[in-house]
Amino acid sequence: MNYRPLCLCGFLVCFLLIATAMYFQHVAGLEPCPLCIFQRIAFITLGVIFLVAGLHDPRGLMRRVYAVLAMSAGVTGSAIAGRHVWLQNIPEDQVPECGPGLEFMLEAMPFQTMIRHVLKGSGECAEVVWTLFGLSMPSWSLIWLVALTLLAFSLCRIPASLRS
């Protein structure tokens, strides 16, 4: 496949994953924890980058620029999801206490303090509320973020013979 269809496929995957998250939140009633929200931001960022890259269909250096931007979002999201999976798998006695909601933290804390607090995780982030094939939502997020990061990496590696 060439560049544009791969980018638009990456966008479609991100769109479907966010739509699924919205379904679980608004229909199934599962409230996202702060780390879940940060993972959503990573998927949205990736999706926007894939969409813009696919619509732009650049040549040369700009393809690498889009790929690096997408890989940065993917690696950041993967690190957040990895932290979330780790929190869900530590012994119960080591789980941090539940903290305030993200909305409160945004209003009450300086931005950098809020980011540090969210990335530490809290008890609500350690709770597994849904699984598919034995994997929690953060585990699935990690899998998809790694896959999308690899897709972004492949975009700057498409052989010249396949570039459109």
Collect contacts of 134-138 with beta carbons under 8 A, ≥24 apart: 136/85, 136/88, 137/24, 137/36, 138/35, 138/36, 138/39, 138/81, 138/84, 138/85, 138/88
pTM of the model: 0.83
Do 83 and 39 contact (CB within 8 A), yes or no? no
Residue in the structure block whose two tokens are 């732009």: 56
Q: How many C-beta neighbours within 10 Å does residue 39 have?
A: 27
Residues 96-137 have pLDDT tens digits of 666 666 676 777 777 777 777 677 766 667 777 887 898 899
Question: What contacts 157, CB < 8 A, 6 or more positions away?
Answer: none
Residue in the structure block whose two tokens are 């909601």: 101
Higher pLDDT residue, 117 or 81? 81
- Please determine, for residue 95, whether its predicted confidence score (pLDDT) is greater than 90: no
% of the chain with per-residue pLDDT over 70? 84
Question: What contacts 150, CB < 8 A, 6 or more positions away?
Answer: none
Q: What is the mean pLDDT of the chain?
A: 85
Q: Measuring CA to CA, how many Å separate 164 from each of 7, 9, 159?
A: 13, 16, 10
Residues 41-61 have pLDDT tens digits of 999 999 999 999 999 988 888
Q: Looking at residue 129, what is its pLDDT? A: 83
Amino acid at 69: L
- Domains of the chain plus CATH, in order, are 3-162 (1.20.1550.10)
